[in-house]
Amino acid sequence: MRTQVAIVGAGPSGLLLGQLLHLAGIEAVVLERHTGEYVLGRIRAGVLEQVCVDLLDAAGVGARMHREGLVHGGIEMLVAGRRHRIDMHRLTGGKNVTVYGQTELTRDLMEARSATGLTTLYEAADVSVHDFDGATPQVRYRHGGREHRLDCDFIAGCDGFHGVCRASVPRGAIAEYEKVYPFGWLGLLADTPPVSDELIYVNSPRGFALCSMRSRTRSRYYLQVPLTDKVEAWSDDAFWHELRARLDDAGRARLATGASLEKSIAPLRSFVAEPLRFGRLFLAGDAGHIVPPTGAKGLNLAATDVKYLANALIEFYRERSEAGIDHYSARCLRRIWRAERFSWWFTSLMHRFPENGPIGEKFQHAELDYLLHSEAGQRTIAENYVGLPLDFGEAASAHGSAG
């Protein structure tokens, strides 16, 4: 079999890339290790920056997101028992975020792909990538009990943090930057109305908590927990009890509890691979970088990587120019490092770090006190939360910065 672009991974990155290439008349085959149901079963953050919303619209998959997504102009921060609203809309000159579950977005992308009759090979086993340092890369895999070979011009590694693409790059050709945090997030999904109309990020003496949502009738909550905790040891009652203890009186009064639909513990990690291109292999989304979820930047970064990659490939096929693919990695990495820094900082600001001692806690509270009582401080949070414009890299390069 032959195609122009072989895409490994049918998460949001791989599917969005497939859609953007299809709209530009470029052929792609998507190979996915798991089933479609498995991919849809993963619960992940769903806060979309305006740039991401615009991209989904341009990809022709925005209709349901506009119908069902919730537009938020602010977030709440609950610190030392007091609420502070960050009015993002006002502080950023009119920007908002859209709350729309990643599962729903993935489903929309899957449906768009099957509606146009495009190939996604689910349950593709033993995917391996070859000869991407030359002009004729190939992908090999097993499907339906047989070995297959896919010849292509380019390989897009959209296969997440544990994927095969990054792992296939020669060790010396890649630098990896990583930080693992000393705690995890215990998440619970329930069909209960959210405790607030906006997200609440909580810094409590008992640890971080987050009150989020998927819709007006479905809530998503998180608790900072030790990495040694096992999800089986957390009953629903224990979860609600602990969440209550981390909220304020107004939150406790409004909190509606119910049976969990899903409960899991996720570790927190900051990770970046540099560069994101090796010959004709490109990494996009979680394959190239991970952020801790505080601030929900993961999906947004994945979407902008994919946009830059689609543009670069379109430029290659239409104009026979390699300028876009040569610039891909640096262009993505500027944006990635900005979001990595914000996600690390917001995590540091809102969680308990007992290893930093009592003075660490005092520093954290003094920083929060400054930020929450200063217009400039609030704007810092707001600007980062709503995200950077798509042409951020271009504007910075035009002013002579590296990149």
What residues are labeled active site?
Answer: 72, 201, 293, 297, 385
Dihedrals phi, psi of 330, to nearest 5 degrees: -65, -40
For the segment 291-310, give every residue that binds ligand APR (CB under 6 A): 298-299, 302
Among 18, 101, 137, 285, binds ligand APR (CB under 6 A): 285
Query: Where in 131-174 does DSSP place strands (E)?
Result: 138-143, 146-151, 154-157
Query: Where in 240-387 does DSSP place strands (E)?
Result: 260-274, 277-278, 281-283, 289-290
Task: Compute the least distance from the CB of residue 36 to ligand APR, in Å.
Answer: 9
Nearer to ligand PHB, 257 or 294 (CB): 294
Task: Compute the least distance from the CB of residue 297 to ligand APR, in Å.
Answer: 8
- Measured from the Cβ of residue 205, the count of other Cβ atoms closer than 10 Å reads 10
126's CB contacts (< 8 A; 6+ apart) are 140, 141, 142
Q: Which does residue 295 touch among ligand APR, ligand PHB, none (CB within 5 to 8 A, set by kind)?
A: ligand PHB
Binding segment (CB under 6 A) for ligand APR, from list 7-15, 199-207, 322-330, 372-380 = 7-15
Dihedrals phi, psi of 73, to nearest 5 degrees: -100, 0
Taking residues 230 to 269 in sequence order and writing x for each that binds ligand APR by CB under 6 A, - otherwise, the string is: ----------------------------------------
What tokens appear for 331 in the block?
């262009």
The whole-angstrom separation of Cα 221 and Cα 243 is: 8
The length of the chain in residues reads: 403
Q: Which does residue 286 touch among ligand PHB, ligand APR, none (CB within 5 to 8 A, set by kind)?
A: ligand APR
Q: Which does residue 220 touch among ligand PHB, ligand APR, none (CB within 5 to 8 A, set by kind)?
A: ligand PHB
Told to check if 286 binds ligand APR by CB under 6 A, we report yes
Among 18, 69, 101, 163, binds ligand APR (CB under 6 A): 163
Alpha helices, H only, 92-169:
102-115, 164-167
Among 160, 194, 324, 393, binds ligand APR (CB under 6 A): 160
Nearer to ligand APR, 197 or 262 (CB): 262
Task: Compute the least distance from the CB of residue 264 to ligand PHB, in Å.
Answer: 11
Q: Which does residue 212 touch among ligand APR, ligand PHB, none (CB within 5 to 8 A, set by kind)?
A: ligand PHB
The whole-angstrom separation of Cα 131 and Cα 128 is: 11
Told to check if 386 binds ligand APR by CB under 6 A, we report no
The whole-angstrom separation of Cα 365 and Cα 190 is: 32
Q: Which does residue 53 touch among ligand PHB, ligand APR, none (CB within 5 to 8 A, set by kind)?
A: none
Q: Which does residue 255 touch among ligand PHB, ligand APR, none (CB within 5 to 8 A, set by kind)?
A: none
The whole-angstrom separation of Cα 130 and Cα 168 is: 8
Nearer to ligand APR, 103 or 364 (CB): 103
Q: In what order do the strands lie in the sheet with 138-143?
A: 125-130, 138-143, 146-151
Sign of the C-alpha dihedral, residues 150, 152, 157, 158?
A: negative
How are beta strands 28-31 and 5-8 bridged, if at all?
A: parallel
Task: Compute the least distance from the CB of residue 296 to ligand PHB, in Å.
Answer: 4
Query: Residue 380, by phi and psi: left (phi above 0), alpha (psi -120 to 50) or beta?
Result: alpha
Task: Compute the least distance from the CB of residue 2 to ligand APR, in Å.
Answer: 19
Q: Which does residue 298 touch among ligand PHB, ligand APR, none (CB within 5 to 8 A, set by kind)?
A: ligand APR
Strand, helix or coil for residue 69: coil
The whole-angstrom separation of Cα 390 and Cα 311 is: 12
Task: Compute the least distance from the CB of residue 388 to ligand APR, in Å.
Answer: 17
Residue ranges binding ligand PHB (CB under 6 A): 45-47, 199, 210, 212, 220, 293-296
Per rule CB under 6 A, count of chain residues that contact ligand APR: 26
How are beta strands 200-204 and 75-79 bridged, if at all?
A: parallel
For the segment 93-122, give every residue that binds ligand APR (CB under 6 A): 102
Residues that bind ligand APR (CB under 6 A): 8-14, 31-34, 39, 44, 102, 124, 127, 158-160, 163-164, 285-286, 298-299, 302
